[in-house]
Chain A
Amino acid sequence: MKGLDASGDLGLTPQVSRPLLARGLPQALTPVLAATSVVYLVAVTMAGAVLRARRARLSLAVGVYASLTLAACGAIAGIGRVGSTRAVHLHHVSLLQQLPGTDDSVLTMRGIAEFPAFDTFSLRLPLADAMIATASPTTTTDQIVDAEGFPVVTGLFGMAGRQSFAGEAVVRLHPLSISEHGRQVDAANESGVTLRDCRFGRGLSPGRIGTLAPGQSVSASWDAGTAEDEGPSGPLFSCAMDEAPVPLTETSRPVVMHGTTTVVAYRQPVLNGTPGD
């Protein structure tokens, strides 16, 4: 990591920024609320029309109206607690930086969790060597770990409540395999998912690759005069993937991750310092 930092490659890697979310209820809840409201409205209107047309008894009218209102209360209270609405939606922008010469990568994540119901939640990043910092009104940042030592985003949140956080972790994961043979650089997709927006770094051609299917490999060569001589050049190869490398988990609810992870691979830095560096 220090070698990468000294080489300047890290500084030239675009960093993650917090995802932007529009105001309003979460997209997962809005259609359910709209549908429930329409059903309630239609039911009350139809009941009113039928009861008036049939000149129904008062007890029947009261019973029907009370039943419809109670049913609507139950349906609305159930939003975020049953079915697909139970899921916690997590919007993230992540960066997975493969550490050359190791099997590890550094994962940096900025995210916003959207909670589906008024309840206590505990979102866990299931990695021991990780941290999550959340903004708090009382302090600048909070870093909380659960009983097993995993970092968590936890608290009592209202329906559609949001909590932004930043996370960092070291993960044993290398979706990209990079090899250099003379002036040629080979990159292969070793993940199980399709990578998109792939590109080689500065000084390599072709630069833009596009999509890289699982198992597929591509090659590029250094442009004339730009081989191993130059200073910082940034990532050697980068791709974007729609899957989160490490999904967060919640004890009693599913977590749906939305966002993009940028995977970057670097050249093996030339270490000039002592081994202790």
Chain B
Amino acid sequence: MESDARELDELVERWQTGYGDVRSLYESLREGMHQNARRGIQRVLARPPDEHRVSDVVFTAFVELLRGDPAAMTSPVGLAKTIAYRRGIDEGRRILRERQRISSLDALEIATTLPDKREILAAAEEEALHQLVASCLEFLTADQRAVVRATVMGNQTLSDWALTAGTSHQAVSRQRARALEALRRCVRRQRAAAGGKETSRGRS
């Protein structure tokens, strides 16, 4: 887990200094970008988006990221996610306008303003947290992992999942609550361990 995060940092650093390859960069950023593109579209449409639209958004966002100056980026990971989110919102608005048959380009309110530093850092922090959580998922029981995958990472409701698992809504609900609490404790432990290592490295 920690090595994953370090690899990503090193990769981004290599890319920022002009030595990294774009394929590896895309490979490391694509999951977070897809997540935020989906979230951006959903934010406007209030429903799960078509995956073709998500791919379009990620493509546009990644091309936009490559056009920027890597050396001047505060956090390429955060910036990639933020751009994907914003282009997702644009796509959601475009779909709404298409539905309302407003074809005039003037009517489109594209989110063209540059994302601010705070937003980028928050997105980067979320991605770093995801790296921790992804490793903690391994410590859950198979049932807990399944309920988290279906109802948090996916779009299934607790009731749907209860029906699939052949159990009651309340049982599934408590199972997920326990899983999230276990993840929270695991993340705390990981952070505390990482903090301890940093301190000892600083002393030495």
Tell whether A and B belong to one assembly. Answer: no
Residues of B within 8 A of A (CB): none
